Chains A and B, each alone.
Chain A
Amino acid sequence: MTHATRLRSLNGAKLDPRAIRRDFPIFERNPGLVFLDSGASAQKPAAVIDGVADFYRSDYANVHRGVYRLSARSTELYEEAREKVRRFLNAADAREIVFVRNATEGINLVANSWGATFLGPGDEILVTVMEHHANIVPWQLLRDRIGVKLVVAPIDATGGLDMARFQALLSPRTKLVAVTHIANVTGAVLPVESIVRLAHAQGAKVLLDGCQAAPRLPVDLQALGCDFYVFSGHKTYAPTGIGVLYAKKAILDTMPPWQGGGDMILEVTFEKTVFQEPPHRFEAGTPDISGAIGLGIALDYLESLGREAVLEHEEALTGYGVDLLSRLPGVNLVGAGQRRLAILSFSLDGIHPHDVATILDQHKVAVRAGHHCAQPFLEVLGLGATTRASLGIYNDERDIDALAEAIKAAQKMFKR
């Protein structure tokens, strides 16, 4: 029995992208849209859009403040969303889930609170060359503040993480390994289990950027054992403005607040403030209540499809796309090592990605062109920019076919 059929038999159901598409109003309002940019931000199902509107209509009030029933209900829904995130990640405790604006803010929180408190000159932070700017710049800012060293692990010839070099760069000086779970430029799935094991053996903490992984892979943080995990709601079919930082409770308990304000305090006098316990210690001010509730609904939606079914679907479609694009003359697919999921970055001989994207747009194919917020990685790849198609649960083979046809049209236009 193959891996795929085993998963299907375990899960029972196979994903039906056509039915799923009917759950997303954007496709009804934009007939013919071939949306291949979920890696930048995913579309929203009606359940999320309506759920957020319903919340404002029926249950809205500020959280953690009012004694009146409406506020209690709002608080309950907000905290229920936190529990949904806990379940989604299989974290041990809902108090390990901090609501932030997005993954970027989650990483900045770790850098400013944990990093600035527990790291010092000479300590090393190990990242990979594949990182998004969000997992580079916060560490550079920390470096400039406190003198930590940023160490960068390279890729191998196939485009995967060079594990031998990665291991060689790990040392007792390494205090944090901050790596992506799935590379946003190439779709390379990193061997995070091995990374966590190797890092912990050296006493380093591990932060995983789950932006591209959370919407696609079942994530079991108790099994994985990483110390920090971040993802953005808007890439996970939820509204913009909400994201998640997971941190192990034992670590979160030691971390000082990074922003001060309401909701994160127990008692304030002008002399002294007593802070809340985590996670509220890290959620200063009125949070994105409706965003959190929308995120909870989006995660419910993904669970209802079956996380294994989502993975199986995107794996199959990724394979279809790799087969098709790599057979097209003049198309150069950027390598992703041993395992790739949901992202196809490519260049076309003699045609700049920006021109490709404009021509594809004319065929209603929405893709991203540019450096994908990973300029250092593009530099290493020797490319100024690529065109990137990224998949979501509503995509099927016809979308990949439309991409291929649009690519051929671009090539025809530029053939002279």
Chain B
Amino acid sequence: MDLRDLYQDIILDHGQHPRNFRAQAQPSHFAHGHNPLCGDRVTIFVTLDGERIGDVSFQGRGCAISQASASLMTEILRGKTLAEAETLFKGFHAKVTGNDAPATPEALGDDMDRLEPLTGVKAYPARVKCATLAWHAFEAALKNGAIGATVKTE
């Protein structure tokens, strides 16, 4: 496999210039994600607006894959319902782990397409957790609310 399939321009761009890279003073939900193996860290901040994600942002440090994944995730999740977010995570997780992805509802097709560049990690088993870290943290944030939580990828 060619490395450019993993480090596509969109990954390098988001990795080096992450979007929504900011803390929120009073998020309704937040969680820390930590990959102890490589030291990658992200904190995901979420502010819900009813059943919709009003605002989602992150801060962290780590490899290009983990930071790009977090950045892309925040762009895609804003304005989505919680059910839609769950569907996207399930589909994304299946793709990066090389499993059969469930059919994507048509309304989320464009969003799944945007996540496609990250699926190159499935050829690099040691790197899959880099791509999923932000999503696991997002999931933990929703479960734990404003108390915060820490999720580890191991």
A interface, CB within 8 angstroms of B: 350-355, 358-359, 362, 369-371, 375, 378, 384-385, 413-414, 416
Which chain B residues lie closer than 8 Å to A375 at the CB level?
39
Q: 6 A-B residue contacts at CB 8 Å?
A: A353-B63, A358-B127, A384-B61, A385-B39, A413-B12, A416-B16
CA distance A209 to B7 in the complex (A): 39
Return the contact of A352 from the options B3, B4, B37, B64 (Cβ within 8 A).
B64
Indicate if the CB atoms of A416 and B13 lie closer than 8 Å: yes
Given contacts A352-B63, A354-B63, contact A416 B39 (CB under 8 A): no
Of all chain B residues, the one with the shortest Cβ separation from A351 is B64
Which chain A residues lie closer than 8 Å to B136 at the CB level?
none
CA distance A354 to B130 in the complex (A): 9
**Residue B146 at the A interface, CB < 8 A?**
no
Indicate if the CB atoms of A352 and B7 lie closer than 8 Å: no
Which chain A residues lie closer than 8 Å to B12 at the CB level?
413-414, 416
Which chain A residues lie closer than 8 Å to B126 at the CB level?
358
The 8 closest A-B pairs by CB, nearest first: A352-B63, A354-B63, A384-B39, A385-B39, A354-B38, A355-B63, A355-B64, A370-B38
Which chain A residues lie closer than 8 Å to B3 at the CB level?
358-359, 362, 413
Q: Can you list, as one digit per residue, whether each of B1-17 has a CB less than 8 Å from chain A (1) or not (0)? A: 00110110000110010
B interface, CB within 8 angstroms of A: 3-4, 6-7, 12-13, 16, 37-41, 61-65, 124, 126-127, 130
Q: Say how far A184's CB is from chain B's closest CB, in angstroms.
A: 16
Return the contact of A358 from the options B6, B37, B41 (Cβ within 8 A).
B6
Which chain B residues lie closer than 8 Å to A378 at the CB level?
39
Q: Say how far A119's CB is from chain B's closest CB, in angstroms.
A: 30
Indicate if the CB atoms of B7 and A384 lie closer than 8 Å: no
A354-B62, A375-B39, A413-B3 given; name 17 further pairs at CB < 8 Å. Answer: A352-B62, A352-B63, A352-B64, A353-B38, A353-B63, A354-B40, A354-B65, A354-B127, A358-B126, A359-B7, A371-B39, A378-B39, A384-B39, A413-B4, A413-B7, A414-B64, A416-B13
Return the contact of A370 from the options B16, B39, B65, B127 (Cβ within 8 A).
B39
